[in-house]
């Protein structure tokens, strides 16, 4: 049974943070940021906004795109590694904000790969219960876990949310294949060390910066360039299509310099690699749906186009999806 995207939307906070502001806080130059990351700006959530608020905004946009109401949704899956709080699940807060009382809900935390993992779950749920509609939302709010003494991370990350409504589509459309991967042996490459059961929040964990986002950037780059191109080749081969048939690549947006390298090695000669990192920075698991929505609103996606979604991040994790695009009216 073909399962695909019925509607799509995104939300970026209004507060645009320039490189000039970041450079002053991190003690680097604006030129250093652009050279190292290609990022020119990012968005930070307002003081009264939490992850659930960003997620709800994106969800409403996706519902509007699909021509549906919250009452039409059977399940809500929220991908985030920056929840409002440890409990309750952020998806329940989103359900409440939408007043989607019919919908069951749960969270997924696979860091930056979470959106593709959530798509796989949605596909399985709909295959088991034909006719159901699943709202998949990816939202991350990293601005509150940044260490502005660490230029390697503070220059990269921003806040945002993207959402899709997933349901049955016509023959030949929708998800053609999804591949997921996990490398727990590389867990130290991307991490937030404190705030859980191993290192509960305390004066000590706050004082030593244990609640900040940390990343080993060079090793992450090596992981991406070693593992992602062959994984994408495997994805399309197993789906029975040629690399030349792919029209679009929508990747996670870690930083612009890494995307330049990934574009050269992707192996899809006719595909356009879509980017939002210059405008929004790295918005975690929201990167893929935010970028997919930007491509949709730009009118770049044509009915029947083959689209590769590729995500990678903390864990280390990876998720890849081959999708045949079904035309969605721009509202």
Confirm if 245 and 223 have CB atoms less than 8 A apart.
Answer: no
Residue 278, token pair as written in the block = 């210059």
Is 112 among the catalytic positions?
yes
CB 149: neighbour CB atoms within 10 A?
A: 11
- State yes or no: is 109 an active-site residue: no
Rg (C-alpha) for the chain, rounded Å, is 19
> For the chain, what is the largest distance between any 2 Cα atoms, rounded to a whole number of angstroms?
57
Six-digit token string for 294? 């930007």
Q: Is 227 helix (H, G, I), strand (E, B) or coil?
A: helix
Rounded CA gap, 210 and 170, in Å?
Answer: 49
Choosing from 19, 57, 112, 296, the catalytic residue is: 112
Instruction: Please tell me the distance from the alpha carbon of residue 133 to that of residue 114, in angstroms, as a whole number.
Output: 19
- Other C-beta atoms closer than 10 Å to the C-beta of 47 total 7
Sign of the four-CA dihedral 240, 232, 281, 97: positive
Q: How far is CA 81 from the centre of its chain?
A: 11
252 is catalytic: yes
Which of 19, 57, 248, 252 is the catalytic position?
Answer: 252
**Residue 96 near residue 44 (C-beta atoms within 8 A):** no
Candidate list 282, 296, 320, 321, residue with the active-site label: 282
Alpha helices in 171-270 (DSSP H): 203-207, 217-239, 256-265
Q: How many CA atoms lie within 13 A of 114 on its CB side?
A: 27
* Omega of the bond leading into 316 within 30 degrees of 0 (cis): yes
Q: Which residues are catalytic?
A: 112, 252, 282
């Amino acid at each position: 049974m073909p399962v695909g995207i019925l509607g799509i939307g995104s939300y970026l906070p209004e507060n645009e943070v320039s490189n000039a502001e970041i450079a002053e806080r991190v003690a680097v130059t604006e030129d250093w940021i652009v050279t190292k990351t290609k990022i020119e700006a990012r968005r930070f959530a307002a003081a009264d906004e939490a992850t659930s608020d960003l997620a709800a905004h994106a969800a409403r946009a996706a519902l509007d795109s699909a021509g549906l109401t919250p009452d039409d949704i059977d399940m809500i899956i929220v991908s985030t590694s920056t929840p409002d709080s440890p409990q309750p699940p952020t998806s329940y807060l989103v359900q409440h904000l939408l007043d989607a009382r019919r919908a069951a809900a749960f969270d997924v935390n696979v860091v930056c790969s979470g959106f593709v993992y959530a798509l796989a779950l949605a596909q399985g749920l709909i295959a088991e219960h034909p006719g159901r509609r699943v709202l998949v939302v990816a939202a991350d709010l990293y601005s509150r876990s940044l260490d502005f003494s660490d230029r390697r991370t503070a220059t990269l990350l921003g806040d945002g949310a993207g959402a899709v409504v997933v349901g049955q589509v016509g023959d030949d459309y929708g998800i053609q294949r999804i591949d997921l991967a996990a490398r727990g042996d590389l867990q130290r490459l991307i991490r937030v060390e404190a705030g859980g059961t191993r290192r509960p929040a305390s004066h000590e964990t706050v004082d030593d910066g244990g609640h900040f986002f940390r990343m080993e950037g060079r090793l992450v780059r090596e992981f991406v360039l070693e593992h992602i191109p062959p994984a994408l080749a495997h994805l399309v081969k197993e789906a029975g299509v040629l690399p030349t048939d792919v029209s679009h690549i929508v990747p996670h947006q870690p930083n612009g310099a890494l995307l330049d390298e990934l574009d050269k090695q992707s192996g899809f000669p006719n595909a356009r690699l879509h980017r939002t990192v210059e405008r929004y920075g790295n918005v975690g698991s929201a990167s893929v749906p935010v970028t997919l929505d930007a491509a949709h609103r730009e009118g770049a996606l044509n009915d029947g186009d083959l689209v590769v979604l590729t995500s990678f991040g903390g864990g280390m994790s990876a998720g890849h999806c081959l999708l045949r695009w079904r035309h969605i009216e721009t509202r």
